[in-house]
Structure 1
């Protein structure tokens, strides 16, 4: 386990590079936009399914 931790730290020091501040900002905007779009799509599908289920049970009970 200690060997794994040591190798992980070594890899982080030598092989990982962080993006620039501008690139990070651009990526953050992209993630925020896709998150909002995905939330709206989920809300839309939920609304449609909810109405379909209500319609089905209203017709079933009447």
Structure 2
């Protein structure tokens, strides 16, 4: 009996979530989705390159430090 009540609650929750997505969410237009996707992709590439650059800088700094104390 407890399992049936819990399953009913889960089904109700999912049903209400879909209903809210249909009626209460304002979805962006397709052109805005494309524009924002491109912005995120460019930012991700730039951030990855900056992270790589900082990593390389630290590698060189640590190599220099350990060569000095060798």
Corresponding residue pairs, total: 61
Q: Which residue matches 1:22?
A: 31
Q: Which residue matches 1:49?
A: 58
What CA distance in whole angstroms lies between the structure 1 residues aligned with 2:53 and 2:15? 48
What CA distance in whole angstroms lies between the structure 2 residues aligned with 1:20 and 1:26? 10
Instruction: Give the structure-1-normalised TM-score.
Output: 0.83
Q: Once superposed, which parts of structure 1, at least 4 consecutive aligned residues long, lie more than 6 Å away? A: none
Tell me the alpha carbon deviations over residues 11-57 of structure 1, each in whole angstroms, 9 at most, x when there is no partner: 11111232112111110111111111101110111010000110111
Instruction: Give the structure-2-normalised TM-score.
Output: 0.75
Unaligned runs of 5+ in 2: 1-9
What CA distance in whole angstroms lies between the structure 2 residues aligned with 1:10 and 1:4? 10
